[in-house]
Amino acid sequence: MAAGWEGLADEINVMREKDEHVWELIGKLCNDLERYDKILFFESAELLQEFCQDGIMKSPGKTILILCREACSLREQNIIFRRISDFEAQQLTALYYTYDFSDKFLLVAEESAIYASLYNFVKTGILNIEEMVKALLEGW
């Protein structure tokens, strides 16, 4: 019987540790929202690579933070890249779809479970990739 309680205690500790990581991530995001003019969270490395090619992404005098699970070779003056873990990506995605907390934090995804993404306009030919980037960066 004692082993059962120990197992439960271990599970509670794991949950508490996960919650602490989530709150730490939220605190970091709050600090980033104050520090950067725009935060773009790329759901996939493929989308990020499209943005990184041919000098498409140019910062219009604003400081931009890009979050992705993969690194990017793009180097622009006002664009900062931060690689995030799978856990952080899952939590940021859940947070993005749960709360409308800032127009400075945008998820760049090919598809959305809830509504169409801006990338769908590129896939259907309504926008080209440059126009999509411009809409993301200049939609201050």
Tens digit of pLDDT for each residue in 73-122?
A: 666 677 888 999 998 998 888 888 777 667 888 888 776 554 456 667 77
Backbone angles phi, psi at 88, to 5 degrees: -65, -40
Q: Which DSSP string corresponds to 18-62?
A: HHHHHHHHHHHHHHHHHH-SEEEEES-HHHHHHHHGGG-----SS
Q: Report which of 82, 81, 34, 78 is spatially closest to residue 59, judged by C-alpha positions.
A: 78
User: Model-level pTM?
Assistant: 0.69
pLDDT tens digits for 44-69? Answer: 777 777 776 655 566 667 888 889 88
Residues 6+ apart with CB under 8 A from 87: 21
Q: Report which of 52, 86, 90, 53 is spatially closest to residue 69, judged by C-alpha positions.
A: 86
Given the structure tokens 């759901």, which residue do they identify?
Answer: 43
